Amino acid sequence: MNMLRIWPIVCEFGIGAVLCLVGIWCGLRGKYLDLKVPEDRRLLAMLVAGYVFLLAVVCVFTFLAPGWGGEGAL
């Protein structure tokens, strides 16, 4: 696999995860988010699920979809 396809995913989702974790940590520490409140727990679960979903979509189109084109694909 060409690393030119992998590095953007690592940078985008790796740095994005770190920034998101810092934001969540600040929200928890500043009492903006409270894990005892069901809405806040649902919000954090939705953030994690969205991150994993987008990562899966990007991986599908990066690694699997290029082979779907037949003879004209690169």
Q: Is 39 a member of any domain?
A: yes
Whole-number pLDDT of residue 16: 94
Model confidence pTM above 0.85:
no
For residues 1-25, one letter each, b for 16 or more C-beta atoms within 10 angstroms of the residue's C-beta and e for the rest, the string is: eeeeeeeeeeeebeeeeeeeeeebe
Chain mean pLDDT for the chain: 91
Range of the domain at 61: 9-66
Q: Is 4 a member of any domain?
A: no
Whole-number pLDDT of residue 32: 95
Whole-number pLDDT of residue 68: 81
CA distance 25 to 29: 6
Q: Is 74 a member of any domain?
A: no
pLDDT in tens, 1-22: 688 889 999 999 999 999 999 9
- Split into its structural domains, the chain has a count of 1
pLDDT in tens, 15-74: 999 999 999 999 999 999 999 999 999 999 999 999 999 999 999 999 888 878 766 555
